[in-house]
Amino acid sequence: MPVKVQHFSTKQSILLAVALILLIPALLTNLGLIAFYDDEGIRALVAMEMQISGNYITPTMFGEFYYNKPPLYNWILLAVFEIFGRSDEFICRLVTVFFLLAFSGSVYTNFRKNLPPSRFPYLSLLASLALITCGRILFWDSMLGLIDLCFSWVMFLLFMVIYQEGEKQRYGRLFGHAYLLTGIGFMLKGLPAVVFLGLALLTYFIWQKKIKKLFSLLHVAGGLVFVAIVGSYYFLYSKQNGLEVVFNTLFNESAKRTFVEHGFGETVLHFFTFPFEMWWHFLPWTLLVVCFFSPPLAPPKGRGRLSFGSNLLKGTENKFITWNLLVFLVTVLPYWSSVEVYPRYLFMYVPLVFSGLFYFYIKNKKEGGALAKTVEMIFFSATCMAVVAALLPMALEVVQDVPFLYLKSIGIAAAMAVLALLFWQWKEHRMLVFVLVLLVARIGFNWFVLPSRLTVECSTNVRASTLEAVEKAAGQPIYIYKNSLGFQPMTGYYFSRETGRILTRQHEGIDSAAYYLIDPTLYDPRPFDKIMNVKIKWECGELIFGKLKK
Protein backbone atom coordinates (compact mmCIF):
# COMPACT_ATOMS: atom_id res chain seq x y z
CA MET A 1 0.00 0.00 0.00
CA PRO A 2 1.73 3.24 -1.11
CA VAL A 3 1.62 5.28 2.08
CA LYS A 4 3.93 7.99 3.39
CA VAL A 5 4.52 7.34 7.05
CA GLN A 6 5.83 10.87 7.71
CA HIS A 7 2.25 12.22 7.43
CA PHE A 8 1.27 10.38 10.63
CA SER A 9 1.97 10.90 14.30
CA THR A 10 4.41 8.57 16.06
CA LYS A 11 1.65 6.35 17.43
CA GLN A 12 -0.13 6.22 14.09
CA SER A 13 3.13 5.33 12.36
CA ILE A 14 3.76 2.49 14.81
CA LEU A 15 0.25 1.11 14.34
CA LEU A 16 0.48 1.41 10.56
CA ALA A 17 3.85 -0.34 10.47
CA VAL A 18 2.51 -3.20 12.59
CA ALA A 19 -0.58 -3.44 10.36
CA LEU A 20 1.55 -3.71 7.22
CA ILE A 21 3.64 -6.45 8.83
CA LEU A 22 0.58 -8.38 10.03
CA LEU A 23 -1.01 -8.22 6.57
CA ILE A 24 1.54 -10.71 5.26
CA PRO A 25 0.75 -13.67 7.56
CA ALA A 26 -2.91 -12.65 7.81
CA LEU A 27 -3.53 -12.82 4.07
CA LEU A 28 -1.09 -15.54 3.05
CA THR A 29 -0.92 -18.19 5.79
CA ASN A 30 -2.62 -21.42 4.62
CA LEU A 31 -4.03 -19.54 1.62
CA GLY A 32 -3.86 -22.60 -0.59
CA LEU A 33 -4.77 -25.18 2.05
CA ILE A 34 -8.49 -25.63 1.29
CA ALA A 35 -9.55 -27.06 -2.07
CA PHE A 36 -11.44 -24.81 -4.47
CA TYR A 37 -15.02 -23.80 -3.88
CA ASP A 38 -17.55 -23.69 -6.73
CA ASP A 39 -16.89 -20.48 -8.70
CA GLU A 40 -13.17 -20.63 -8.03
CA GLY A 41 -13.08 -23.75 -10.15
CA ILE A 42 -14.72 -21.90 -13.05
CA ARG A 43 -12.12 -19.11 -13.10
CA ALA A 44 -9.18 -21.49 -12.82
CA LEU A 45 -10.54 -24.09 -15.24
CA VAL A 46 -11.28 -21.61 -18.04
CA ALA A 47 -7.80 -20.09 -17.68
CA MET A 48 -6.20 -23.52 -17.63
CA GLU A 49 -8.03 -24.64 -20.75
CA MET A 50 -6.69 -21.52 -22.48
CA GLN A 51 -3.20 -22.54 -21.39
CA ILE A 52 -3.62 -26.12 -22.60
CA SER A 53 -5.30 -25.31 -25.92
CA GLY A 54 -3.43 -22.13 -26.78
CA ASN A 55 -6.78 -20.53 -27.67
CA TYR A 56 -6.92 -17.19 -25.84
CA ILE A 57 -9.84 -15.62 -27.73
CA THR A 58 -12.81 -17.96 -27.28
CA PRO A 59 -12.91 -19.25 -23.67
CA THR A 60 -13.97 -22.85 -23.10
CA MET A 61 -15.00 -25.02 -20.18
CA PHE A 62 -14.83 -28.81 -20.61
CA GLY A 63 -13.71 -28.01 -24.15
CA GLU A 64 -17.02 -26.29 -25.00
CA PHE A 65 -17.56 -22.57 -25.50
CA TYR A 66 -17.91 -20.66 -22.22
CA TYR A 67 -20.09 -17.56 -22.61
CA ASN A 68 -20.87 -16.32 -19.11
CA LYS A 69 -17.94 -13.94 -18.67
CA PRO A 70 -15.55 -12.09 -20.99
CA PRO A 71 -11.95 -13.36 -20.75
CA LEU A 72 -9.90 -10.61 -19.08
CA TYR A 73 -9.71 -12.23 -15.65
CA ASN A 74 -8.83 -15.55 -17.28
CA TRP A 75 -6.01 -13.80 -19.13
CA ILE A 76 -4.75 -12.40 -15.83
CA LEU A 77 -4.80 -15.86 -14.22
CA LEU A 78 -3.12 -17.35 -17.28
CA ALA A 79 -0.32 -14.76 -17.10
CA VAL A 80 0.20 -15.55 -13.40
CA PHE A 81 0.25 -19.30 -14.18
CA GLU A 82 3.01 -18.66 -16.71
CA ILE A 83 5.01 -16.38 -14.40
CA PHE A 84 4.99 -18.79 -11.45
CA GLY A 85 5.00 -22.00 -13.48
CA ARG A 86 2.13 -23.41 -11.43
CA SER A 87 -1.64 -23.10 -11.23
CA ASP A 88 -2.61 -24.34 -7.78
CA GLU A 89 -5.01 -22.91 -5.22
CA PHE A 90 -2.40 -20.65 -3.63
CA ILE A 91 -1.49 -18.99 -6.92
CA CYS A 92 -5.11 -18.42 -7.95
CA ARG A 93 -5.91 -16.87 -4.58
CA LEU A 94 -2.71 -14.83 -4.54
CA VAL A 95 -4.18 -12.88 -7.46
CA THR A 96 -7.14 -12.00 -5.22
CA VAL A 97 -4.81 -10.79 -2.47
CA PHE A 98 -2.95 -8.62 -4.97
CA PHE A 99 -6.16 -6.94 -6.16
CA LEU A 100 -7.38 -6.47 -2.59
CA LEU A 101 -4.17 -4.64 -1.69
CA ALA A 102 -4.32 -2.61 -4.91
CA PHE A 103 -7.93 -1.71 -4.10
CA SER A 104 -6.99 -0.68 -0.57
CA GLY A 105 -4.08 1.41 -1.83
CA SER A 106 -6.37 3.17 -4.31
CA VAL A 107 -8.84 3.94 -1.53
CA TYR A 108 -6.06 5.54 0.49
CA THR A 109 -4.61 7.63 -2.35
CA ASN A 110 -7.96 8.80 -3.73
CA PHE A 111 -9.43 9.62 -0.33
CA ARG A 112 -6.30 11.46 0.73
CA LYS A 113 -6.54 13.73 -2.33
CA ASN A 114 -10.06 14.72 -1.41
CA LEU A 115 -10.00 14.53 2.39
CA PRO A 116 -7.01 16.58 3.61
CA PRO A 117 -5.48 15.14 6.83
CA SER A 118 -5.63 18.56 8.46
CA ARG A 119 -9.43 18.39 8.39
CA PHE A 120 -9.99 14.63 8.38
CA PRO A 121 -7.30 12.98 10.55
CA TYR A 122 -6.32 9.54 9.21
CA LEU A 123 -9.81 8.95 7.73
CA SER A 124 -8.22 7.84 4.45
CA LEU A 125 -6.05 5.31 6.25
CA LEU A 126 -8.96 3.97 8.28
CA ALA A 127 -11.16 3.53 5.22
CA SER A 128 -8.44 1.69 3.29
CA LEU A 129 -7.65 -0.69 6.16
CA ALA A 130 -11.33 -1.18 6.99
CA LEU A 131 -11.87 -2.44 3.44
CA ILE A 132 -9.40 -5.25 4.08
CA THR A 133 -10.62 -6.03 7.59
CA CYS A 134 -14.40 -5.97 7.20
CA GLY A 135 -15.77 -9.38 8.08
CA ARG A 136 -16.91 -10.57 4.67
CA ILE A 137 -13.58 -9.80 2.99
CA LEU A 138 -11.16 -10.67 5.79
CA PHE A 139 -12.69 -14.00 6.75
CA TRP A 140 -14.01 -15.17 3.40
CA ASP A 141 -13.48 -13.47 0.05
CA SER A 142 -9.82 -12.59 0.54
CA MET A 143 -9.24 -16.36 0.68
CA LEU A 144 -11.02 -17.16 -2.59
CA GLY A 145 -9.81 -16.98 -6.19
CA LEU A 146 -12.78 -14.99 -7.51
CA ILE A 147 -13.20 -12.08 -9.90
CA ASP A 148 -15.13 -9.70 -7.66
CA LEU A 149 -12.38 -7.78 -5.85
CA CYS A 150 -10.68 -7.04 -9.15
CA PHE A 151 -13.91 -5.87 -10.78
CA SER A 152 -14.90 -3.82 -7.73
CA TRP A 153 -11.53 -2.09 -7.73
CA VAL A 154 -12.03 -1.03 -11.35
CA MET A 155 -15.56 0.25 -10.62
CA PHE A 156 -14.33 2.16 -7.57
CA LEU A 157 -11.71 3.86 -9.75
CA LEU A 158 -14.51 4.70 -12.20
CA PHE A 159 -16.46 6.51 -9.46
CA MET A 160 -13.33 8.35 -8.35
CA VAL A 161 -12.26 9.51 -11.81
CA ILE A 162 -15.74 10.88 -12.61
CA TYR A 163 -15.67 13.02 -9.47
CA GLN A 164 -12.06 14.15 -9.60
CA GLU A 165 -11.93 15.04 -13.29
CA GLY A 166 -15.39 16.58 -13.09
CA GLU A 167 -14.34 18.85 -10.24
CA LYS A 168 -11.37 20.03 -12.30
CA GLN A 169 -13.69 20.46 -15.30
CA ARG A 170 -11.44 18.27 -17.43
CA TYR A 171 -14.31 16.61 -19.24
CA GLY A 172 -12.24 15.08 -22.00
CA ARG A 173 -10.17 13.21 -19.41
CA LEU A 174 -13.32 12.37 -17.46
CA PHE A 175 -15.03 10.66 -20.38
CA GLY A 176 -11.84 9.11 -21.73
CA HIS A 177 -10.77 7.58 -18.42
CA ALA A 178 -14.33 6.60 -17.47
CA TYR A 179 -14.89 4.69 -20.70
CA LEU A 180 -11.42 3.13 -20.47
CA LEU A 181 -12.25 1.78 -17.01
CA THR A 182 -15.69 0.69 -18.23
CA GLY A 183 -14.08 -1.19 -21.10
CA ILE A 184 -11.81 -2.98 -18.63
CA GLY A 185 -14.79 -3.66 -16.38
CA PHE A 186 -16.80 -5.04 -19.29
CA MET A 187 -13.95 -7.37 -20.24
CA LEU A 188 -13.98 -8.60 -16.65
CA LYS A 189 -17.68 -9.05 -15.97
CA GLY A 190 -19.77 -7.85 -18.88
CA LEU A 191 -22.80 -5.54 -18.85
CA PRO A 192 -22.79 -4.47 -15.16
CA ALA A 193 -19.83 -2.18 -15.92
CA VAL A 194 -21.91 -0.31 -18.52
CA VAL A 195 -24.83 0.02 -16.07
CA PHE A 196 -22.57 1.50 -13.39
CA LEU A 197 -21.04 3.94 -15.86
CA GLY A 198 -24.42 5.17 -17.03
CA LEU A 199 -25.80 5.61 -13.52
CA ALA A 200 -22.64 7.28 -12.22
CA LEU A 201 -22.42 9.76 -15.12
CA LEU A 202 -26.11 10.65 -14.81
CA THR A 203 -25.73 11.08 -11.05
CA TYR A 204 -22.72 13.37 -11.30
CA PHE A 205 -23.96 15.65 -14.08
CA ILE A 206 -27.50 15.96 -12.72
CA TRP A 207 -26.04 16.69 -9.27
CA GLN A 208 -23.78 19.37 -10.76
CA LYS A 209 -26.58 20.69 -13.04
CA LYS A 210 -24.44 20.13 -16.12
CA ILE A 211 -26.54 17.55 -17.90
CA LYS A 212 -25.66 19.08 -21.29
CA LYS A 213 -22.14 17.70 -20.94
CA LEU A 214 -23.56 14.25 -21.57
CA PHE A 215 -24.45 15.34 -25.11
CA SER A 216 -21.02 16.72 -26.00
CA LEU A 217 -18.49 15.55 -28.57
CA LEU A 218 -16.12 14.80 -25.68
CA HIS A 219 -18.60 12.21 -24.46
CA VAL A 220 -18.75 10.66 -27.93
CA ALA A 221 -14.95 10.57 -28.08
CA GLY A 222 -14.84 8.85 -24.68
CA GLY A 223 -17.38 6.30 -25.87
CA LEU A 224 -15.08 5.44 -28.77
CA VAL A 225 -12.48 4.29 -26.24
CA PHE A 226 -14.94 1.70 -24.96
CA VAL A 227 -15.88 0.68 -28.50
CA ALA A 228 -12.20 0.25 -29.40
CA ILE A 229 -11.52 -2.02 -26.42
CA VAL A 230 -14.63 -4.18 -26.51
CA GLY A 231 -15.14 -4.04 -30.26
CA SER A 232 -11.58 -5.16 -31.01
CA TYR A 233 -11.96 -8.23 -28.85
CA TYR A 234 -15.34 -9.27 -30.22
CA PHE A 235 -14.15 -8.70 -33.78
CA LEU A 236 -11.44 -11.30 -33.13
CA TYR A 237 -13.99 -13.49 -31.32
CA SER A 238 -16.34 -13.40 -34.30
CA LYS A 239 -13.63 -14.94 -36.46
CA GLN A 240 -13.80 -18.11 -34.37
CA ASN A 241 -17.39 -18.19 -33.13
CA GLY A 242 -20.69 -16.37 -33.66
CA LEU A 243 -21.68 -13.39 -31.50
CA GLU A 244 -25.40 -14.02 -31.01
CA VAL A 245 -25.07 -16.62 -28.26
CA VAL A 246 -22.34 -14.80 -26.37
CA PHE A 247 -24.26 -11.48 -26.23
CA ASN A 248 -27.53 -13.20 -25.32
CA THR A 249 -25.73 -15.00 -22.50
CA LEU A 250 -24.11 -11.82 -21.20
CA PHE A 251 -27.51 -10.13 -21.12
CA ASN A 252 -29.17 -13.09 -19.40
CA GLU A 253 -26.39 -13.21 -16.81
CA SER A 254 -27.28 -9.64 -15.85
CA ALA A 255 -31.08 -10.02 -16.05
CA LYS A 256 -31.51 -13.36 -14.32
CA ARG A 257 -31.22 -11.92 -10.80
CA THR A 258 -34.04 -9.40 -11.24
CA PHE A 259 -37.82 -9.63 -10.77
CA VAL A 260 -37.96 -10.98 -14.34
CA GLU A 261 -36.58 -14.23 -12.97
CA HIS A 262 -37.84 -14.22 -9.36
CA GLY A 263 -41.17 -12.46 -9.49
CA PHE A 264 -42.60 -9.38 -7.80
CA GLY A 265 -43.17 -10.89 -4.34
CA GLU A 266 -39.62 -12.08 -3.78
CA THR A 267 -38.29 -8.79 -5.15
CA VAL A 268 -40.35 -6.72 -2.68
CA LEU A 269 -39.24 -8.90 0.25
CA HIS A 270 -35.61 -8.57 -0.84
CA PHE A 271 -35.97 -4.81 -1.09
CA PHE A 272 -36.74 -4.58 2.63
CA THR A 273 -34.27 -7.20 3.87
CA PHE A 274 -31.30 -6.21 1.67
CA PRO A 275 -29.93 -3.34 3.84
CA PHE A 276 -29.95 -5.43 7.02
CA GLU A 277 -28.39 -8.45 5.35
CA MET A 278 -25.57 -6.41 3.85
CA TRP A 279 -25.00 -4.54 7.12
CA TRP A 280 -24.37 -7.91 8.78
CA HIS A 281 -21.82 -9.05 6.21
CA PHE A 282 -19.61 -5.99 6.58
CA LEU A 283 -19.35 -5.94 10.35
CA PRO A 284 -17.65 -4.82 12.55
CA TRP A 285 -17.19 -1.47 10.82
CA THR A 286 -20.85 -1.14 9.92
CA LEU A 287 -21.57 -0.73 13.64
CA LEU A 288 -20.40 2.85 13.11
CA VAL A 289 -23.73 3.50 11.40
CA VAL A 290 -25.08 4.48 14.83
CA CYS A 291 -22.99 7.65 14.57
CA PHE A 292 -25.36 8.81 11.81
CA PHE A 293 -27.94 9.18 14.57
CA SER A 294 -25.93 11.54 16.72
CA PRO A 295 -28.17 14.07 18.54
CA PRO A 296 -27.28 17.78 18.47
CA LEU A 297 -24.91 18.79 21.25
CA ALA A 298 -27.34 21.32 22.61
CA PRO A 299 -30.82 20.26 21.47
CA PRO A 300 -33.65 22.71 21.81
CA LYS A 301 -35.71 22.29 24.93
CA GLY A 302 -38.01 19.32 24.63
CA ARG A 303 -36.31 18.09 21.43
CA GLY A 304 -33.66 15.64 22.51
CA ARG A 305 -34.48 12.96 19.98
CA LEU A 306 -31.92 11.37 17.68
CA SER A 307 -31.73 13.12 14.36
CA PHE A 308 -30.55 11.07 11.41
CA GLY A 309 -31.56 13.46 8.63
CA SER A 310 -30.15 16.68 10.07
CA ASN A 311 -26.81 15.12 10.93
CA LEU A 312 -26.54 13.45 7.55
CA LEU A 313 -26.98 16.82 5.86
CA LYS A 314 -24.44 18.45 8.16
CA GLY A 315 -21.97 15.66 7.54
CA THR A 316 -22.31 15.93 3.79
CA GLU A 317 -21.17 19.56 3.78
CA ASN A 318 -18.02 17.90 2.48
CA LYS A 319 -18.58 17.53 -1.25
CA PHE A 320 -16.49 14.37 -1.65
CA ILE A 321 -18.35 12.57 1.14
CA THR A 322 -21.58 13.68 -0.51
CA TRP A 323 -20.46 12.19 -3.82
CA ASN A 324 -19.47 8.89 -2.22
CA LEU A 325 -22.83 8.47 -0.54
CA LEU A 326 -24.78 9.75 -3.52
CA VAL A 327 -23.13 7.49 -6.11
CA PHE A 328 -23.55 4.58 -3.71
CA LEU A 329 -27.28 5.20 -3.23
CA VAL A 330 -27.91 5.48 -6.98
CA THR A 331 -25.70 2.71 -8.36
CA VAL A 332 -26.65 0.18 -5.68
CA LEU A 333 -30.27 0.24 -6.86
CA PRO A 334 -29.81 -2.54 -9.46
CA TYR A 335 -28.54 -4.82 -6.70
CA TRP A 336 -31.09 -3.59 -4.17
CA SER A 337 -33.84 -4.57 -6.58
CA SER A 338 -32.28 -7.93 -7.55
CA VAL A 339 -33.06 -11.00 -5.47
CA GLU A 340 -30.06 -13.17 -6.17
CA VAL A 341 -27.28 -10.88 -4.94
CA TYR A 342 -24.15 -11.99 -3.11
CA PRO A 343 -22.22 -9.67 -0.77
CA ARG A 344 -19.14 -9.95 -2.99
CA TYR A 345 -20.98 -7.98 -5.68
CA LEU A 346 -20.99 -4.93 -3.38
CA PHE A 347 -17.29 -4.56 -2.63
CA MET A 348 -17.02 -1.45 -4.83
CA TYR A 349 -19.36 0.31 -2.40
CA VAL A 350 -17.56 -0.61 0.81
CA PRO A 351 -15.05 2.29 0.82
CA LEU A 352 -17.77 4.73 -0.28
CA VAL A 353 -19.96 3.83 2.68
CA PHE A 354 -17.02 3.56 5.07
CA SER A 355 -15.95 7.12 4.20
CA GLY A 356 -19.29 8.31 5.54
CA LEU A 357 -19.19 6.02 8.56
CA PHE A 358 -15.74 7.17 9.64
CA TYR A 359 -16.60 10.78 8.90
CA PHE A 360 -19.53 10.71 11.30
CA TYR A 361 -17.58 8.66 13.84
CA ILE A 362 -14.71 11.19 13.90
CA LYS A 363 -17.18 14.07 14.00
CA ASN A 364 -19.09 12.51 16.90
CA LYS A 365 -15.88 11.72 18.76
CA LYS A 366 -14.60 15.30 18.42
CA GLU A 367 -17.89 16.61 19.75
CA GLY A 368 -17.71 14.28 22.76
CA GLY A 369 -20.72 12.31 21.58
CA ALA A 370 -21.79 9.16 23.39
CA LEU A 371 -22.35 7.05 20.28
CA ALA A 372 -18.69 7.01 19.23
CA LYS A 373 -17.76 5.95 22.75
CA THR A 374 -20.41 3.25 22.68
CA VAL A 375 -18.96 1.72 19.53
CA GLU A 376 -15.47 1.92 21.01
CA MET A 377 -16.61 0.06 24.10
CA ILE A 378 -18.17 -2.65 21.94
CA PHE A 379 -14.86 -3.03 20.12
CA PHE A 380 -12.96 -3.06 23.41
CA SER A 381 -15.24 -5.78 24.79
CA ALA A 382 -14.70 -7.82 21.63
CA THR A 383 -10.92 -7.47 22.06
CA CYS A 384 -11.09 -8.65 25.66
CA MET A 385 -13.23 -11.63 24.66
CA ALA A 386 -10.69 -12.42 21.95
CA VAL A 387 -8.02 -12.84 24.63
CA VAL A 388 -10.05 -15.67 26.18
CA ALA A 389 -11.14 -17.10 22.81
CA ALA A 390 -7.51 -17.39 21.72
CA LEU A 391 -6.87 -19.89 24.53
CA LEU A 392 -9.75 -22.18 23.56
CA PRO A 393 -7.89 -24.12 20.82
CA MET A 394 -5.73 -25.75 23.51
CA ALA A 395 -8.88 -27.48 24.79
CA LEU A 396 -10.43 -28.39 21.43
CA GLU A 397 -9.78 -31.87 20.12
CA VAL A 398 -10.35 -30.94 16.49
CA VAL A 399 -7.19 -28.78 16.34
CA GLN A 400 -4.82 -30.88 18.41
CA ASP A 401 -2.82 -31.78 15.30
CA VAL A 402 -1.91 -28.14 14.62
CA PRO A 403 1.88 -27.76 14.96
CA PHE A 404 3.01 -25.70 17.97
CA LEU A 405 -0.61 -25.47 19.11
CA TYR A 406 0.10 -24.18 22.62
CA LEU A 407 2.69 -21.67 21.46
CA LYS A 408 0.36 -20.30 18.79
CA SER A 409 -2.64 -20.14 21.11
CA ILE A 410 -0.76 -18.36 23.87
CA GLY A 411 0.87 -16.05 21.31
CA ILE A 412 -2.49 -14.95 19.90
CA ALA A 413 -3.87 -14.44 23.41
CA ALA A 414 -0.84 -12.37 24.44
CA ALA A 415 -1.10 -10.23 21.30
CA MET A 416 -4.79 -9.61 21.98
CA ALA A 417 -4.02 -8.66 25.58
CA VAL A 418 -1.42 -6.11 24.45
CA LEU A 419 -3.87 -4.68 21.92
CA ALA A 420 -6.60 -4.45 24.56
CA LEU A 421 -4.22 -2.40 26.69
CA LEU A 422 -3.30 -0.14 23.77
CA PHE A 423 -6.96 0.25 22.85
CA TRP A 424 -7.71 1.49 26.35
CA GLN A 425 -4.73 3.84 26.60
CA TRP A 426 -4.41 5.24 23.05
CA LYS A 427 -7.86 6.79 22.95
CA GLU A 428 -7.30 8.81 19.80
CA HIS A 429 -6.21 5.77 17.81
CA ARG A 430 -8.67 3.11 18.90
CA MET A 431 -9.93 2.32 15.40
CA LEU A 432 -6.39 1.70 14.16
CA VAL A 433 -5.73 -0.55 17.14
CA PHE A 434 -8.88 -2.50 16.32
CA VAL A 435 -7.60 -3.03 12.77
CA LEU A 436 -4.68 -4.87 14.39
CA VAL A 437 -7.11 -6.89 16.51
CA LEU A 438 -8.86 -8.07 13.36
CA LEU A 439 -5.61 -8.93 11.59
CA VAL A 440 -4.41 -10.96 14.57
CA ALA A 441 -7.81 -12.69 14.63
CA ARG A 442 -7.34 -13.61 10.97
CA ILE A 443 -3.92 -15.11 11.75
CA GLY A 444 -5.54 -17.22 14.47
CA PHE A 445 -8.27 -18.17 12.00
CA ASN A 446 -5.61 -19.31 9.54
CA TRP A 447 -3.87 -21.41 12.18
CA PHE A 448 -6.84 -23.05 13.87
CA VAL A 449 -10.00 -22.82 11.77
CA LEU A 450 -8.66 -23.56 8.29
CA PRO A 451 -6.97 -26.87 9.23
CA SER A 452 -10.12 -28.05 11.00
CA ARG A 453 -12.23 -26.97 8.03
CA LEU A 454 -9.98 -29.03 5.78
CA THR A 455 -11.09 -32.21 7.55
CA VAL A 456 -14.83 -31.60 7.08
CA GLU A 457 -15.08 -29.91 3.68
CA CYS A 458 -16.43 -32.12 0.89
CA SER A 459 -14.05 -30.32 -1.48
CA THR A 460 -11.15 -31.98 0.35
CA ASN A 461 -12.45 -35.41 -0.70
CA VAL A 462 -13.17 -34.13 -4.22
CA ARG A 463 -9.54 -33.08 -4.61
CA ALA A 464 -8.12 -36.21 -3.00
CA SER A 465 -10.24 -38.67 -4.98
CA THR A 466 -9.55 -36.82 -8.23
CA LEU A 467 -5.80 -36.97 -7.70
CA GLU A 468 -6.05 -40.66 -6.85
CA ALA A 469 -8.03 -41.33 -10.03
CA VAL A 470 -5.41 -39.56 -12.15
CA GLU A 471 -2.72 -41.68 -10.55
CA LYS A 472 -4.66 -44.88 -11.34
CA ALA A 473 -5.14 -43.78 -14.95
CA ALA A 474 -1.36 -43.77 -15.33
CA GLY A 475 -1.32 -41.35 -18.24
CA GLN A 476 -4.25 -42.85 -20.17
CA PRO A 477 -6.97 -40.46 -21.47
CA ILE A 478 -9.82 -39.55 -19.13
CA TYR A 479 -13.27 -38.47 -20.34
CA ILE A 480 -16.69 -37.57 -18.98
CA TYR A 481 -19.23 -40.19 -20.05
CA LYS A 482 -21.92 -38.15 -21.80
CA ASN A 483 -23.36 -35.66 -19.26
CA SER A 484 -22.24 -37.50 -16.13
CA LEU A 485 -20.31 -34.63 -14.58
CA GLY A 486 -22.91 -31.92 -15.08
CA PHE A 487 -21.65 -28.51 -13.95
CA GLN A 488 -18.74 -29.40 -11.66
CA PRO A 489 -15.86 -27.10 -12.63
CA MET A 490 -13.82 -28.02 -9.56
CA THR A 491 -13.55 -31.63 -10.69
CA GLY A 492 -12.68 -30.48 -14.20
CA TYR A 493 -9.97 -28.21 -12.85
CA TYR A 494 -8.24 -30.93 -10.81
CA PHE A 495 -8.33 -33.47 -13.63
CA SER A 496 -7.01 -30.92 -16.14
CA ARG A 497 -4.33 -29.66 -13.79
CA GLU A 498 -2.99 -33.11 -13.04
CA THR A 499 -3.22 -34.57 -16.55
CA GLY A 500 -2.36 -31.52 -18.62
CA ARG A 501 -5.37 -32.35 -20.82
CA ILE A 502 -8.79 -30.74 -21.13
CA LEU A 503 -11.44 -32.95 -19.55
CA THR A 504 -14.16 -33.29 -22.21
CA ARG A 505 -17.48 -35.07 -22.61
CA GLN A 506 -17.67 -38.09 -24.89
CA HIS A 507 -21.10 -39.12 -26.15
CA GLU A 508 -20.09 -41.77 -28.67
CA GLY A 509 -17.08 -43.69 -29.91
CA ILE A 510 -16.17 -44.97 -26.45
CA ASP A 511 -12.43 -45.66 -26.18
CA SER A 512 -11.65 -49.01 -24.51
CA ALA A 513 -8.21 -47.75 -23.46
CA ALA A 514 -9.55 -44.60 -21.81
CA TYR A 515 -11.02 -44.01 -18.36
CA TYR A 516 -14.47 -42.50 -17.82
CA LEU A 517 -16.42 -40.63 -15.16
CA ILE A 518 -19.90 -42.18 -15.02
CA ASP A 519 -22.93 -40.98 -13.07
CA PRO A 520 -24.74 -44.21 -12.03
CA THR A 521 -27.94 -42.24 -11.39
CA LEU A 522 -28.09 -41.18 -15.05
CA TYR A 523 -26.50 -44.06 -16.94
CA ASP A 524 -26.20 -47.81 -16.61
CA PRO A 525 -22.71 -48.43 -15.20
CA ARG A 526 -22.67 -52.15 -16.06
CA PRO A 527 -20.71 -51.75 -19.34
CA PHE A 528 -17.82 -50.40 -17.27
CA ASP A 529 -15.35 -51.95 -14.85
CA LYS A 530 -15.38 -49.83 -11.75
CA ILE A 531 -11.92 -48.75 -10.62
CA MET A 532 -12.96 -46.44 -7.77
CA ASN A 533 -15.44 -43.75 -6.75
CA VAL A 534 -14.69 -40.06 -7.36
CA LYS A 535 -16.31 -37.45 -5.14
CA ILE A 536 -18.03 -34.42 -6.63
CA LYS A 537 -19.09 -31.19 -4.93
CA TRP A 538 -22.80 -31.41 -5.81
CA GLU A 539 -24.45 -32.79 -2.64
CA CYS A 540 -21.07 -34.38 -1.91
CA GLY A 541 -22.05 -37.15 -4.33
CA GLU A 542 -19.98 -39.76 -6.14
CA LEU A 543 -19.25 -40.78 -9.70
CA ILE A 544 -17.84 -44.08 -10.87
CA PHE A 545 -14.36 -43.97 -12.33
CA GLY A 546 -13.87 -46.91 -14.66
CA LYS A 547 -13.03 -48.43 -18.03
CA LEU A 548 -15.14 -50.10 -20.67
CA LYS A 549 -15.32 -53.83 -20.10
CA LYS A 550 -13.36 -55.93 -22.60
Predicted pLDDT of residue 112? 92
Alpha-helical segments (H) within 139-258: 148-167, 171-189, 192-207, 217-238, 244-255
Predicted pLDDT of residue 348? 96
Q: Is the pLDDT of residue 312 over 60?
A: no
pLDDT band, residue 28 (cuts 50/70/90): very high
pLDDT band, residue 132 (cuts 50/70/90): very high
Closest CA to 536 of 498, 497, 493, 482: 493
Predicted pLDDT of residue 373? 93
Indicate the average pLDDT of the chain: 90
pLDDT band, residue 39 (cuts 50/70/90): confident
pTM score of the predicted model: 0.92
- Eight-class DSSP state of 448: I
Predicted pLDDT of residue 341? 83
Beta-strand relationship, 515-518 and 478-481: parallel
Angle among Cα 130, 328, 367 to the nearest 5 degrees reads 55
Residue 171: HSE in the Cβ half-sphere, 13 Å Cα cutoff? 15
- Eight-class DSSP state of 295: P
Q: Average pLDDT of 143-165?
A: 97
pLDDT band, residue 307 (cuts 50/70/90): very low
The string of DSSP letters for 164-176 reads HHHHTT-HHHHHH
CA distance 420 to 434: 9
Predicted pLDDT of residue 299? 44
The model's pLDDT over 426-484, given as tens digits with 9 standing for 90+, comes to: 999 999 999 999 999 999 999 999 999 998 899 999 999 999 999 999 999 999 999 99
The model's pLDDT over 53-75, given as tens digits with 9 standing for 90+, comes to: 999 999 999 999 999 999 999 99
Domain chopping of the chain, boundaries:
461-548
CA distance 374 to 492: 51
